[in-house]
Amino acid sequence: MGTSHATAVGKDVPAMSDLVTYVYAVARNADALAEPTAALKGVADAPVHLVAGTHDDALVFVASHVPAQDFQEDALKRHLEDLDWLEAVARAHHGVIEAVATRTTVLPMRLATVYLDDNRARDVLDGGRALFSERLARLAEHVEWGVKIYVEPSVTPDAPGPTPTADLTPGRAYLRHRRQQQSVRDSVYRAAQQAAERVEAAGRKHAADHARHRVQQGVLAGGAGENVVNDAYLVPRDRCEEFRAEVTHAADGVQGVRVEVTGPWAPYSFAMPPAGSSDAEEGACP
């Protein structure tokens, strides 16, 4: 149409210049998404709308308008220090994606993907059509499961306390105790390794893809124990039961190792192929 959206953005509509377009996901529009999404509220409680491409409306961006002043560089830096703000945006982002994911395959965007207006977003959607279609086809009828493994050496019952035997000097007793603690730790980590191998075996059997996240630590990682594996698996819907069952039982009978399964998630971790590798998700370990 040759609109000059790239240069004068909303100059003639001052009210609109306060708003920019926040994009949540790409989706196929096959299931008439417009009506259900119109009822959703996104970031900043704004109503969600669809932005269709120029050529057809087979693919749409799920988007909403957000206040421009919150998403400019300075403001964003300030906001990112504010965990409440970050959480509100993350949950809003996730809420929209979850809701759309119940109706059709979604390709989630990374948090805080923002365009000057819907026309700019439309250009980007047009430009990425081939890639988006390919990824959506690959992700159809798949969900993501998170699998985390924790070690908790302290809960191992056979960790013997410091036995104050009469024939040991305090120093020797201490060293013996430390050695026992160390061997308990070692055996717990070996057990965790076995659990991890069982999880990976379940993944090879049932999952289409596998992604590795950083282990969780820091103030937000509230769970007990030390997180040693934080992985995501892309699993076909009809294999979820088996996958979940096998993964959940991967640490059965193992003291001090806990497996936690989260999901089903929209396929966040698989939205794009892993950087550097075309399709090989295995064997590329550093």
Partner 1 sequence: MTAPGPSSVVEPLPERQVALIDLLDRLLSGGVVLTGDVVLSIADIDLVRISLRALIVSISAQNPSPWAEATPSRGDHGG
How far is Cα 77 from Cα 70, in angstroms, rounded to an integer?
Answer: 10
Smallest distance from partner 1 to CB 240, Å: 6
User: Closest by alpha carbon to 123, among 267, 218, 5?
Assistant: 5
Report the residue number, 132 or 150, with the smaller CB distance to partner 1.
Answer: 132
Report the residue number, 96 or 191, with the smaller CB distance to partner 1.
Answer: 96
CA 84, 15, 111: angle at the middle one, nearest 5? 35
8 Å CB contact between 106 and 97: yes
What residues pair up with 145 in beta bridges, in sequence order? Answer: 233
Smallest distance from partner 1 to CB 111, Å: 4
How far is Cα 122 from Cα 65, in angstroms, rounded to an integer?
Answer: 14
Smallest distance from partner 1 to CB 194, Å: 24
Enumerate binding residues for partner 1 (CB under 8 A).
Answer: 20, 23, 26, 68, 71-73, 76-78, 80-83, 86-87, 90-91, 93-95, 98-99, 101-102, 107-116, 120, 124, 128, 132, 135, 144, 146, 211, 213-214, 216-222, 230, 232, 237-238, 240-241, 244, 262, 264-265, 268-272
Report the residue number, 162 or 264, with the smaller CB distance to partner 1.
Answer: 264
Smallest distance from partner 1 to CB 270, Å: 7
Smallest distance from partner 1 to CB 211, Å: 8
How far is Cα 84 from Cα 92, in angstroms, rounded to an integer?
Answer: 12
User: Closest by alpha carbon to 249, among 238, 232, 261, 240?
Assistant: 261
Q: Is the dihedral of CA 225, 226, 228, 233 positive or negative?
A: positive
Smallest distance from partner 1 to CB 163, Å: 36
What are the CA-CA distances from residue 121 to residues 20, 26, 53, 89, 110 (Å)?
10, 11, 9, 19, 14
Smallest distance from partner 1 to CB 74, Å: 9
Smallest distance from partner 1 to CB 189, Å: 22
What residues pair up with 211 in beta bridges, in sequence order? Answer: 232
Report DSSP state, residue 286.
-
Report the residue number, 35 or 81, with the smaller CB distance to partner 1.
Answer: 81
**Backbone angles phi and psi of 281, in degrees to 5:** -90, -10
Report the residue number, 187 or 248, with the smaller CB distance to partner 1.
Answer: 248
Report the residue number, 43 or 257, with the smaller CB distance to partner 1.
Answer: 43
Report the residue number, 88 or 159, with the smaller CB distance to partner 1.
Answer: 88
Angle between the 129-139 and 118-127 helix axes, to the nearest 10 degrees?
70
Report the residue number, 40 or 251, with the smaller CB distance to partner 1.
Answer: 40
